[in-house]
């Protein structure tokens, strides 16, 4: 026992010496430029009251009491899945406890031995983990590089799955979805974690915005980001849904999320028109932000992005952490993204814009960055 703990401690000390030791932050009182609560639903008081009232009026359980295959299923969950599918222009939807669970559950179950999964080199860790748990061959392709992808497709075997994110979480850049959707002989999988709730008129996501739903085999939408709740859903055909119910281990062997989570998700979907209003407002704030970084003379230090994720390049782990602490001292919560999460020389502050941010907050943020 002691020898193992000594080795664990050595690993932690090594990480600390490299300036990479992770600790749990306290950001609740700071101005939020780091969370994924893009539309501010997680902090909306009226929404909270509505969720609580619905939860109490319908006498929902506090916990699901079991997996959906035992005691955790409900008519409410099934109706919610119909709502989700219709909202995102899909035939069917299956709820999971988190985006991580959904990606692991899909990629470990659907691609089979003899198949090939080709994934963008910047794909999320949950997809990589799901692939590792499955039996299919896998290979990465250069980020957003159609030519490199096609060269890999030419060598692939079996059913060919191509996994991308519609918006990538580190740089905020978008996948070339329309071009990808035109490639023949592949099954396109799109993780919409950072675009669902933000893109298209009512937050249907980038796949719907580009009108390529019929050419996408499966999509992932998550509820811990723009929807301000918790959980995720895989969108696809009715056959895919039934298959995941029968073969996805992260769906089968876990207690389902609470009814409270489901009520929260449903409450946001019922605010379709307000979604449109919030999306329009936050897009206007993004436009203002881009104008301000140009006026401040720091535009060249940013990674170009059409999403709500904007990255200020610092290029050094220690300097990046120092800037994060400086921001915290000024009352701003902004997250430093360090190597090896991003390549050396591209360490950055990742700035997330939100419905609840104000022009004055943007001005002060840009002022601090310009003076760094």
Q: Tell me if 297 is assigned to some domain.
A: yes
Domain match, 165 and 288 both: no
Q: What is the pLDDT of residue 27?
A: 65
In the predicted model, what is the mean pLDDT of the chain? 95
Token digits for 32? 């939020």
| Lowest-pLDDT choice from 9-18, 185-194, 247-256, 288-297 | 9-18
- Residue 288 neighbours by CB distance under 10 Å: 15
Q: What is the pLDDT of residues 159-184, one digit of tens each?
A: 999 999 999 999 999 999 999 999 99
Domain match, 220 and 95 both: yes
Token digits for 287? 């436009």
| Lowest-pLDDT choice from 67-71, 200-204, 318-322 | 318-322
Q: Tell me if 64 is assigned to some domain.
A: no
Its domain, for residue 318, covers 24-40+273-370
Q: Which of 270, 292, 309 is the last residue of a domain?
A: 270
pLDDT (average), residues 114-130: 98
Residue 328's CATH number: 3.90.1150.10
Angle at 127 between CA 34 and CA 309, to 5 degrees: 25
Q: What is the pLDDT of residue 24?
A: 87
Q: What is the pLDDT of residue 62?
A: 87
**Burial environment of residue 108 by CB neighbours within 10 A (0 to 12, 13 to 18, 19 or more):** buried
Q: What does pTM read for this prediction?
A: 0.95
| pLDDT score of 293 more than 80 | yes
CA neighbor of 160 nearest in space, from 194, 112, 208: 112
Q: Tell me if 3 is assigned to some domain.
A: no
Q: Tell me if 281 is assigned to some domain.
A: yes
Q: Which percentage of the chain shows pLDDT scores above 90?
A: 89
**Burial environment of residue 329 by CB neighbours within 10 A (0 to 12, 13 to 18, 19 or more):** exposed
Domain match, 239 and 365 both: no
Q: Tell me if 321 is assigned to some domain.
A: yes
Strands 348-352 and 309-313: antiparallel
| pLDDT score of 237 more than 80 | yes
Q: Tell me if 18 is assigned to some domain.
A: no
Q: Which residues of 141-150 are buried (b: 16+ CB within 10 A; e: fewer)?
A: beebeeebbe
Domain match, 115 and 224 both: yes
Domain match, 154 and 36 both: no
For residue 172, give Cα distances in angstroms to 188, 368, 372: 20, 22, 23
For 32, phi then psi, to 5°, come to: -85, 105
Number of domains in the chain: 2
Q: What is the pLDDT of residues 127-153, one digit of tens each?
A: 999 999 999 999 999 999 999 999 999
Q: What is the pLDDT of residue 23?
A: 86
Q: Tell me if 16 is assigned to some domain.
A: no
**Burial environment of residue 229 by CB neighbours within 10 A (0 to 12, 13 to 18, 19 or more):** buried
Q: Which of residues 135 and 22 earns the better pLDDT score?
A: 135
| pLDDT score of 26 more than 80 | no
- Quickly list H helices, the chain: 2-17, 45-57, 75-87, 99-109, 125-133, 146-153, 177-181, 206-209, 238-247, 249-252, 259-269, 272-295, 317-329, 359-370
Q: What is the pLDDT of residue 120?
A: 98
Q: What is the pLDDT of residue 1?
A: 64
State how far the Cα of 36 lies from the Cα of 219, in Å rounded to an integer.
19
| pLDDT score of 194 more than 80 | yes
| pLDDT score of 207 more than 70 | yes
State CA 60 to chain mean position distance: 28
């Amino acid at each position: 026992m002691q020898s193992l703990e000594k080795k664990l401690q050595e690993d932690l000390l090594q990480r600390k010496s490299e300036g990479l030791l992770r600790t749990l932050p306290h950001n609740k009182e700071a101005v939020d430029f780091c969370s994924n609560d893009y539309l501010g639903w997680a902090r909306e008081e009226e929404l909270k009251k509505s969720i609580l009232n619905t939860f109490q009026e319908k006498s929902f359980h506090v916990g699901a009491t079991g997996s959906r295959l035992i005691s955790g299923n409900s008519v409410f969950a099934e109706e919610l899945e119909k709502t989700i599918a219709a909202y995102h222009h899909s035939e069917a939807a299956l709820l999971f406890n988190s985006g991580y669970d959904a990606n692991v559950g899909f990629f470990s179950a659907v691609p089979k031995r003899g198949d090939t999964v080709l994934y963008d080199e910047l794909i999320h860790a949950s997809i990589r983990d799901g692939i590792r748990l499955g039996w299919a061959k896998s290979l990465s392709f250069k980020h957003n590089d159609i030519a490199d992808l096609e060269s890999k497709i030419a060598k692939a075997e079996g059913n060919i799955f191509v996994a991308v994110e519609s918006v990538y979480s580190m740089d905020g850049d978008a996948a070339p979805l329309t071009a990808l959707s035109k490639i023949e002989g592949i099954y396109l999988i799109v993780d919409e974690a950072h675009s669902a709730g933000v893109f298209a008129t009512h937050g249907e996501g980038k796949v719907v915005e580009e009108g390529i739903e019929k050419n996408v085999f499966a999509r992932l939408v998550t509820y811990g980001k723009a929807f301000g709740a918790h959980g995720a859903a895989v969108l696809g055909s009715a056959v895919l849904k039934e298959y995941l119910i029968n073969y996805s281990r992260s769906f089968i062997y876990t207690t389902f999320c609470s009814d409270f989570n489901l009520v929260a998700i449903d409450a946001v979907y019922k605010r379709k028109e307000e979604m449109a209003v919030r999306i329009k407002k936050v897009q206007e704030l993004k436009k203002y932000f881009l104008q301000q970084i140009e006026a401040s003379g720091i535009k060249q230090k940013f990674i170009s992005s059409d999403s709500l994720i904007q990255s200020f390049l610092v290029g050094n782990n220690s300097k990046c952490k120092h800037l994060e602490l400086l921001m915290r001292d000024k009352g701003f919560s902004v997250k430093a993204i360090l190597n090896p999460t991003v390549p050396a020389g591209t360490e950055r502050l990742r700035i997330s814009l939100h419905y609840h941010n104000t022009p004055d907050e943007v001005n002060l943020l840009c002022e601090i960055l310009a003076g760094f």
